Amino acid sequence: MQYGATMTQESVLQISFASVSVPIYNSEMAPPHLRGRFNQLYQLVLTFFILVAQVINLIINVTDAVRWGWRLSLGFAFCPSFVLFLGGVFLPDSPNSLLERGKPEQARKNLQLVRGTKDVDKEFNDLVEFAKLAAECKHPWRTLFSKKYRPQLILSACSTGFQQWTGINILIFYAPQIFLSLGTTKTISLVSAIILGACNHLSTYVSFWTADKFGRRALFLQAGVQMSVALLVIAISLKCLGGAQGTWLAWYILAMTCVYDMAYAWSYGPLAWLYPSEIQPLETRSAGLAVASFSNLLFSFVIAQTFLTMLCSLQWATFLFFAICVVCMTIFVGFFFVETKGVPLEECPFIFKKHWFWKRYANLGGLGFQEKLVLQNKARDALEKGEKPDDMPGMDQAIKDMEAKKV
């Protein structure tokens, strides 16, 4: 048992590393106009392998391999982890990482490699500027917990934390047990889990193609309404029809669960990880994404440890509880989440300066590193063209700093 506990702790540790490093790597390697879709590939691959795992469980259950049980299921987990290991060995380092480690020539070569062209001067110069600023920011954790960056801290933690309070992991972890409790056979319960996994994976493509068209907030809000209604219907159905006989109730609950799952798959599934990577500025990016990952794993642990007790004591009201959670989260999103659709990554800090609530924090303490660089670049480009710089918060101070730098 001690060995098993140790291996479980190591697995959780590695998952934590991957949860932080993969979104950062995708964000740094993606072309700017495709950054949203590249970050969502994380969720696409995740849902695909969840589906694969569910298919493996069914195959093991209906064949002679059932005698190996959970050992074989865990053994197959070696395959994706080995692919991740190969990626770590053979994939090139991101240009941002190389610049921060003092390897500009290799950074330029890698940028040319991933862009497929040698004409990368403008993007490379911008990366060099950002790397210089990153070197000046010595305390990302202290910076993140300062008042000025409270919006990024809270929204990053809420985005990934809300993902768990939708109750999605409960359905993934315990879907076979839930359907078994409704009177189905073990095989049918596993088939139901596969249907749910396929629905989860295919619906993720909706977000892949629409997040940049309709916006992050729109998908969060629409999905919040759809998920809360579906969970409410499931709760009422189990309350009123829980004593019904036959498998028809299980298939009915499965249909409503798919309605819920589709909404999750094109909102909180991929966007909960995309959103923190967009709103975190250069000076707090690493610490901010670590907080987002910690929030997600913390609430995943809390809900996984309490769900069975809740299900036994609350029964149908468990789904009502998660419906209320989704309603509360949707209200929070409507009031406090800023829209990042169409906003260049480097300009995201400025959207907090105009928000009705977050501006009281975002305008504290002068300009941040990333804000200063963006404003100076815009001022320089405008002055070179003989135009007046855009009227953005802090532009006058940025121009003064730029002139002082020249002197």
Q: 106-121 pLDDT, tens per residue?
A: 989 988 888 888 888 8
pLDDT at 2: 43
- For 383, list phi and psi in degrees, rounded to 5: -65, -35
> What pLDDT band is residue 406 in, cutting at 50, 70 and 90?
low
> What pLDDT band is residue 355 in, cutting at 50, 70 and 90?
very high
- For 8, list phi and psi in degrees, rounded to 5: -65, -40
Q: 1-54 pLDDT, tens per residue?
A: 444 444 444 455 566 566 667 767 877 787 766 766 777 777 788 888 888 888
pLDDT at 392: 66
Report, as an integer, the average pLDDT of 289-318. Answer: 87
Question: What is the C-alpha to C-alpha distance for residues 311 and 167, in angstroms, rounded to an integer?
Answer: 12
Report, as an integer, the average pLDDT of 46-70. Answer: 77
* Amino acid at site 399: I
Average pLDDT along the chain = 82
**With 90 as the cut, is the pLDDT of residue 328 above it?**
yes
**With 50 as the cut, is the pLDDT of residue 318 above it?**
yes
Find, among 291, 282, 395, 398, the residue nearest to 345 by Cα: 282
pLDDT at 222: 95
pLDDT at 5: 41
Find, among 227, 214, 207, the residue nearest to 163 by Cα: 227
Q: 226-238 pLDDT, tens per residue?
A: 999 999 998 998 8
pLDDT at 398: 66
**With 90 as the cut, is the pLDDT of residue 389 above it?**
no
What is the pTM assigned to this prediction?
Answer: 0.82
- CA angle, 58 then 62 then 63, to 5°: 115
Q: 267-287 pLDDT, tens per residue?
A: 998 899 889 988 988 788 889
The answer to which of 2-16, 200-214, 382-396 has the lowest mean pLDDT is 2-16
The answer to which of 186-190, 199-203, 339-343 has the lowest mean pLDDT is 186-190
pLDDT at 243: 59
Find, among 364, 61, 118, the residue nearest to 53 by Cα: 61
**With 60 as the cut, is the pLDDT of residue 212 above it?**
yes
Q: What is the DSSP string of 139-179?
A: -HHHHHTSGGGHHHHHHHHHHHHHHHHTTHHHHHHHHHHHH
